[in-house]
Structure 1
């Protein structure tokens, strides 16, 4: 089931004065339960609110949603789930060094190759401090929130195709490089 960006734009815009609040709530919910891609919502934010406000809504909403998911996993996560993650991915999240966890969360937020819920769950159940999780997520979410919001703005408002293709190229480079870095670091940490 795909999400039509025009329908989403019309829906959020139909709330008039409250449209930014609705968008913020949707960004928060998307970070907890990603039923549609962040890029679609961020592009919609760019279309409706411009680059600055759209970026802030995307970034702050994603941070709030990630924080809520982190605390829910921390409160209700049990050793059963920790063992499940360990058996499924072959890695004990609880033995990760704090500085490595901080940099890892930044990397996997900057290069979105790992689903957001897995990042939140892994950090919460792995014993990462909330402060470290929050700041690494805040830093790591900046590039994608900015790129996706700007992409929406350039594709649907300015019709500047050269700029839009530059943004799309930057996103593709982020994904390819990110996948390589995450894969390389995962293999390195598993062989230690």
Structure 2
């Protein structure tokens, strides 16, 4: 019975994905709008992201909410730009609520995509190296991995969500740990984002990117060194 339910869920998700792809290629207005979204994220420009969201007027908050879910599924897209933009447009605490709630929704979507469709799909939506990296965290920290990774700004929020869906962890445990772990970073980014103007925008974005890259290099080096030690220990 359980296998039948999983099969039905897989069919539903695949069907929805197929419809979305078909609409993208067959409806010019949708294709144009989606290309604008991809271009916005690819720009890495705070002003571009903020102006894009603001252009929807009274629907700006709803558009931002769905953009956060979209970037969660398409894991390489940068989420912190949306968090900064939300704070700048709606005020820091309103922006924080919007960013936190939409990020939680995105995390839930990623978790269930991985749990229902499996590792192959998760790796295609993210990267095999990224999933393997989080697997290492799960091996080392177990169920505490979610909370630890959420507190580390250089670890991909979305890849962690996909990786968690591949484990035996319950959704409730995942959701609670994500909510607690994500809150500090969301508050900090939102508070800073609410004050960003002019050159400070570029400085903040540059510092975030530099910090993330530096921390990521250090983390990958540590993982590599740990694996080398494990190999040496296994050959003795």
Normalising by structure 2, report the TM-score.
0.60
Q: Distance in 2 between matches of 1:26 and 1:46?
A: 15
How big is the shift at 1:25? Answer: 1.0
State the 1:117 CA deviation.
Answer: 3.1
How far did residue 31 of structure 1 move? 1.9
Segments of structure 1 that go 5 or more residues without pairing to the other structure are none
Name the SS for the 1:119 alignment partner: helix
Residue in 2 that maps onto 1:106:
147
Q: How many residues align?
A: 177
Larger Rg: 2
1:1-192 equivalences under 5 Å are: 1-77=42-118, 89=132, 100-156=141-197, 172=211, 176=215, 183=222, 187=226
Q: Is the 8 A contact 2:54 2:89 kept in 1?
A: yes
Contact 1:43 1:153 in 2 (8 A): yes
Q: Specify whether residues 131 and 13 from structure 1 end up closer, same or farther in structure 2 by C-alpha distance, changes over 3 A only.
A: same
- Whether contact under 8 Å (1:3, 1:36) holds in the other structure is no
| C-alpha distance in structure 2 between counterparts of 1:123 and 1:80, whole Å | 14
Following TM superposition, where does structure 1 have runs of at least 4 consecutive aligned residues deviating by more than 6 angstroms?
A: 79-82, 90-93
User: Could you tell me how far apart the structure 1 residues matched to 2:128 and 2:179 are?
Assistant: 24
Distance 1:14 1:79 in 2: 37
Question: CA 1:126–1:41 in structure 2 vs 1: closer, same or farther (change >3 Å)?
Answer: same
* Residue-by-residue CA offset, 1:154-186 (whole Å, 9 max, x unaligned): 2229x9x7xx98xx69x959x85xx66xx58x9
RMSD: 3.9
SS of equivalent to 2:77:
coil
Give ranges in structure 2 of 5+ residues lacking alignment.
1-41
Give the drift of 1:80: 9.7
- Once residues 111 and 59 of structure 1 are traced to their aligned partners in structure 2, the CA distance between those partners, rounded to angstroms, is 16
Q: Structure 1 length normalisation: TM-score?
A: 0.72
